[in-house]
Amino acid sequence: MNAMILEEPKEPLVLKTVSLPVPLPQQVLIKVIACGVCRTDLHIIDGELTQPKLPLIPGHEIVGIIVKIGNNVTALKQDDLVGVPWLGYTCGTCKYCLSERENLCDNAGFTGYTIDGGYAEYTVANEKYCFPLPSLYGNASGAPLLCAGLIGYRSYSMINKNAVNIGIYGFGAAAHILIQVANYQHKKIFAFTKDGDNEAQQFALRLGAVWAGDSSEVPPEKPDAAIIFAPVGSLVPKALTDIGKGGIVVCGGIHMSDIPSFPYKILWEEKSVRSVANLTRKDGEEFLKIASKVPVRAEIKTYQLHQANEALNDLRNGNIQGAAVLIMS
């Protein structure tokens, strides 16, 4: 099969022909239909996440069809449409797994990072970490739901349920999916983009944001909570300043530049800051249920598998509205 392979961090991916993976007893072999390109892939390829398996097939927003099942697979069968997310394995025995926090598992495996992912014509995945997908999402537009959608939803679920005004900092793949869920639940979204990024601001307004502006601007109303998707640490004190009393700032990314020091008074009045790491399978089930109810429609820019480096560069340079997705021919 053809695959795009990371041989060394900070080097472009290389198109190679490699042997078809053979599913282990708990695994399924999946013919990949599409695989999303996530900012986390950039952090891996650029060497900011330092523990990838090498060589590595990146990609953790996989939509595909099962073509073969391992001997011990019970829940899935051939021809099932599935999505494979970032969380690819958990041990089930550590204190985190035993307290319904498998996203923090000490022995977790991550698709497209410590396990080969979906920048390939085929991949294998553990059946327990595959989500059955509604047919609506059996194409390239389903791919961004598997990470951008899921992590966005997990970030959103950390916010107090009474919050109505929600600030979103960084309006890319995750935000454009999340806003559709938030609007469906009658929330008001304030979208903050890189200063002067009119295109992203228009995009946010078109998707129903009540306000869109530069990250340095003061919003017309105080958000009750904030979610930061941009990997920019200075947004943390900015968001803390913007939000109202008792609000939370949720950092949704896996990597961020350093957070500058800030005066205690902007954290005062019971504000808090937290990060979101990975996902649980429960998050995935909940999100996919609500996504098909809304229904969430991801806006995508598609690339062929061999154009993965181009897609990554477009993402790095902010040239993508919505999400980038590789499609397998």
- Select 91 or 294, whichever has its Cβ closest to Zn ion: 91
C-alpha angle 182/185/188, rounded to 5°? 55
- Select 94 or 267, whichever has its Cβ closest to Zn ion: 94
CB of 68 to Zn ion, least distance (A): 26
Asked if 326 touches Zn ion (CB under 5 A), the answer is no
Asked if 63 touches Zn ion (CB under 5 A), the answer is no
Hey, what amino acid is at 164? V
Asked if 91 touches Zn ion (CB under 5 A), the answer is yes
Asked if 94 touches Zn ion (CB under 5 A), the answer is yes
- Select 81 or 315, whichever has its Cβ closest to Zn ion: 315
Q: Which window, 87-95, 163-171, 172-180, 192-200, contacts Zn ion (CB under 5 A)?
A: 87-95
Element (H, E) at 214: strand 211-214
Footprint on residues 121-160 left by Zn ion (CB under 5 A): 147
Asked if 97 touches Zn ion (CB under 5 A), the answer is yes
* Total residue count of the chain as it appears in this document: 329
Q: How far apart are CA 87 and CA 156, in angstroms?
A: 18
Nearest CA among 139, 135, 142, 82 for reference residue 297: 142
Contact 102, 90 (CB under 8 A): yes
Q: How far apart are CA 273 and CA 246, in angstroms?
A: 11
CB of 243 to Zn ion, least distance (A): 25
CB of 49 to Zn ion, least distance (A): 11
Asked if 5 touches Zn ion (CB under 5 A), the answer is no
Q: How far apart are CA 143 and CA 223, in angstroms?
A: 30
Query: Is 324 strand, coil or helix?
Result: strand
- Select 32 or 97, whichever has its Cβ closest to Zn ion: 97
Q: How far apart are CA 250 and CA 51, in angstroms?
A: 25
CB of 79 to Zn ion, least distance (A): 27
- Name which position in 28, 29, 30, 105 contacts Zn ion (CB under 5 A): 105
Q: How far apart are CA 170 and CA 197, in angstroms?
A: 10
Q: Which window, 12-20, 95-103, 211-219, 290-298, contacts Zn ion (CB under 5 A)?
A: 95-103
162, two tokens: 């009474």
For 48-106, the DSSP string reads SS----SSB-----EEEEEEEE-TT--S--TT-EEEE-SEEE--S-STTGGGT-GGG-T
- Select 44 or 207, whichever has its Cβ closest to Zn ion: 44
- Select 243 or 291, whichever has its Cβ closest to Zn ion: 291
Q: Which window, 86-94, 178-186, 214-222, 223-231, contacts Zn ion (CB under 5 A)?
A: 86-94
CB of 266 to Zn ion, least distance (A): 29
Binding-site size for Zn ion (CB under 5 A) equals 8
Element (H, E) at 237: helix 235-242
- Per-residue contact string for residues 24-43; x = within reach of Zn ion by CB under 5 A: --------------x-x---
CB of 193 to Zn ion, least distance (A): 20
Q: Which residues bind Zn ion (CB under 5 A)?
A: 38, 40, 90-91, 94, 97, 105, 147
